[in-house]
Amino acid sequence: MQTLTAVMGHMVGGLINLTGPGHYIHWGFIQISAANLVVIGLMVVVFAAAILIPFRRPGGRD
């Protein structure tokens, strides 16, 4: 039971701990956190995918 509680507590607390000192990228006057940069990168990937992935055609063909 204690093990289960510990496992659940660990899961609720997050498998990957993102607390602690943040990482930041400085470029001139621009300053951005690594986490924000990753999220923006993922958004760009999703945007590119939305444009480039072909629509499904009637009958299942691309």
Partner 1 sequence: MTTADETNGRRHGRRFNPDRDVAVWNGKYLPYDLVKEFLIALVVVTLLVVLLAVVFSSPDDHPVTVRSWSTAQPVDFAQTAITELDGSSAVANYGPPYNATNPGATQSIGPFSPERWFGVHHPIDTANDYVIAPLQTLPDRAALDASINAYTSASSSQQANWTTAYEKAVANATFAQGGLKVPSGAYGPVAPMISALTSMARSGALDGALLSSRQFYGTDYTKPLLFIADGTYLANLGQAQHLQGSQWGMMNETGNYPGQAWLWLYTLWYQVAPMKTSSNADLQVWAIMMLLTLILALVPFIPGLRSIPRWSRIYRLIWRQHYRDIS
Point out which residues bind partner 1 (CB under 8 A).
11-24, 29-36, 38-40, 43, 51-52, 54-55, 57-58, 62
Q: Could you tell me the two tokens for 55?
A: 């629509």
Q: Which is nearer to partner 1, 1 or 29 (CB)?
A: 29
Q: Which is nearer to partner 1, 2 or 29 (CB)?
A: 29
Rounded Cα distance, 15 and 46, in Å = 25
Q: Which is nearer to partner 1, 1 or 51 (CB)?
A: 51
Q: Could you tell me the two tokens for 4?
A: 């289960």
Rounded Cα distance, 52 and 57, in Å = 15
